[in-house]
Structure 1
Amino acid sequence: MSDYVLRTSTPEDFDAFSRVILDAFATPGAPDATDTIRTVVEFPRYLVVEHDGRVVASTGALTRDLAIPGGVLPAAHVTAVSVAATHTRKGLLRRMMTEQLTGVPEAIAVLWASEGRIYQRFGYGLASQNVTLRIDRREVALRTAQEDGTLRAAVPSEVVKELSGVYDRVLPGRPGWSSRNETWWAHLTSDPESRRDGYTAARAVLYQNPDGGVDGYARFKVRNTWDDNGPKHEVNVTEVVAATPVAYSALWRFLFRIDLSRTVVLGLSNVDEPLFHLVDEPRRLGGKLGDGLWLRIVDLPRALTSRKYAAPVDVVLEVTDALLPSNAGTWRLRVGAGGALVNCARVDSAPDLTLDVADLGAAYLGGTKLGMLALNGRVVEHRPGAVAATSTAFGWHVTPSSIEIF
Structure 2
Amino acid sequence: MQHHRTTQPPAAPSARRRERRHACPGNAAPRRVRSAATRANCCPRRFGPLRAHGEEARPRRCAAPCPLSRSGPSAAAGWPRPYGRSTFSLVAISILTGSIGAAAPPGQYLGWTCAQAGVDRATVTTTNPLLRAPAAEEFPAMWRSMVDTFSESAHDADLTLETTLAEPERCLIALDGDDIVATAGIFTRDLTVPGAIVPIAGVTYVTVAPTHRRRGVLTEIMVRQLTELHEQDGEAVAALWASEAGIYQRFGYGNAAPRASISGSTRETAFRREVDLGTGRVRRLGEDKVRPHAQAVYDALRPAAVGWLDRPDKWWARRHYDPEHYREGFTEQRYLAHEERDGQVTGWASYRVKGEFERTGPNGLVALLDIGATTPQAQAALWRFLLDQDLVRRFRRRMSGPDDSLQHLVLNPRAVETEISDGLWVRLVDVDRALAARRYSAEIDIVLDVSDDVCPWNAGRWRLTAGPDGAECAATTDPADLQLTSTELGAAYLGGPSLAALALAGRVRELTTGALHTAATAFGWHTAPWCPEVF
Structure 1 counterpart of 2:156, which letter? D
1:343 aligns with 2:472: yes
1:365 aligns with 2:494: yes
| CA deviation profile, 1:95-140 (whole Å, cap 9, x unmatched) | 1111111223111011111122210010001101111111211111
1:127 aligns with 2:256: yes
Question: Offset at 1:22?
Answer: 2.5
Q: Do 2:438 and 2:471's aligned partners in 1 also have CA atoms closer than 8 Å?
A: no
Look up the SS of the partner of 2:220 in the other structure. helix
Question: Offset at 1:273?
Answer: 1.3
Distance 1:13 1:74 in 2: 27
1:250 aligns with 2:381: yes
Alignment match of 1:284 (pick from 403, 406, 415): 415
Q: Do 1:39 and 1:187's aligned partners in 2 also have CA atoms closer than 8 Å?
A: no
Equivalent in the alignment of 1:97: 222
* Count of aligned residue pairs for this structure pair: 403
| CA deviation profile, 1:265-287 (whole Å, cap 9, x unmatched) | 10111111122111111111111
1:226 aligns with 2:351: no
1:32 aligns with 2:156: yes
Equivalent in the alignment of 1:83: 208
Question: Offset at 1:382?
Answer: 0.8
Instruction: Write the mapping of 1:54-93 to structure 2, written as runs, cut at 5 A.
Output: 54-93=179-218
Equivalent in the alignment of 1:20: 145
When structure 1 is superposed on structure 2, of 117-126 and 206-215 the one drifting more is: 206-215
Instruction: Write the mapping of 1:285-364 to structure 2, written as runs, cut at 5 A.
Output: 285-336=416-467, 339-364=468-493
1:177 aligns with 2:308: yes
Give me the TM-score of the superposition, normalised by structure 2: 0.73
Q: Do 2:435 and 2:472's aligned partners in 1 also have CA atoms closer than 8 Å?
A: no
Distance 2:396 2:307 in 1: 21
Q: Do 2:439 and 2:471's aligned partners in 1 also have CA atoms closer than 8 Å?
A: no
Question: Offset at 1:75?
Answer: 0.8
Q: Do 1:18 and 1:31's aligned partners in 2 also have CA atoms closer than 8 Å?
A: no
Question: Offset at 1:342?
Answer: 4.4
Give % identity.
42
Distance 2:445 2:326 in 1: 51
Distance 1:174 1:146 in 2: 23
Q: Do 1:17 and 1:56's aligned partners in 2 also have CA atoms closer than 8 Å?
A: no
Equivalent in the alignment of 1:149: 280
Give me the TM-score of the superposition, normalised by structure 1: 0.96
Alignment match of 2:246 (pick from 93, 100, 117): 117
Equivalent in the alignment of 2:332: 201
Higher strand share: 1
Distance 2:481 2:469 in 1: 21
Equivalent in the alignment of 1:395: 524
Look up the SS of the partner of 1:210 in the other structure. coil
Question: Offset at 1:34?
Answer: 4.6
Question: Offset at 1:197?
Answer: 2.4
Over alpha carbons, which structure has the higher Rg?
Answer: 2
Q: Please, which runs of 5 or more residues in structure 1 have no aligned partner? A: none
Look up the SS of the partner of 1:287 in the other structure. strand
Q: Do 2:496 and 2:529's aligned partners in 1 also have CA atoms closer than 8 Å?
A: yes
> CA RMSD, aligned part only?
1.4
Structure 1 counterpart of 2:370, which letter? E
Equivalent in the alignment of 1:235: 366
Structure 1 counterpart of 2:243, which letter? S
Equivalent in the alignment of 2:506: 377
Look up the SS of the partner of 1:191 in the other structure. coil
Structure 2 counterpart of 1:53, which letter? D
Structure 1 counterpart of 2:423, which letter? G
Q: Do 1:129 and 1:271's aligned partners in 2 also have CA atoms closer than 8 Å?
A: yes
When structure 1 is superposed on structure 2, of 288-297 and 11-20 the one drifting more is: 11-20
Distance 2:390 2:134 in 1: 48
Segments ≥4 residues shifted beyond 3 Å: none
1:50 aligns with 2:175: yes
Distance 1:247 1:93 in 2: 45
Q: Do 2:297 and 2:372's aligned partners in 1 also have CA atoms closer than 8 Å?
A: yes
Question: Offset at 1:146?
Answer: 3.5
Q: Do 2:355 and 2:365's aligned partners in 1 also have CA atoms closer than 8 Å?
A: yes
Q: Do 1:157 and 1:189's aligned partners in 2 also have CA atoms closer than 8 Å?
A: no
| CA deviation profile, 1:204-253 (whole Å, cap 9, x unmatched) | 10111233211111110111212222221111110111111111111111
Distance 1:258 1:290 in 2: 29
Equivalent in the alignment of 1:259: 390
Distance 1:155 1:7 in 2: 43
Q: Please, which runs of 5 or more residues in structure 2 have no aligned partner? A: 1-91, 93-103, 105-127
When structure 1 is superposed on structure 2, of 319-328 and 13-22 the one drifting more is: 13-22
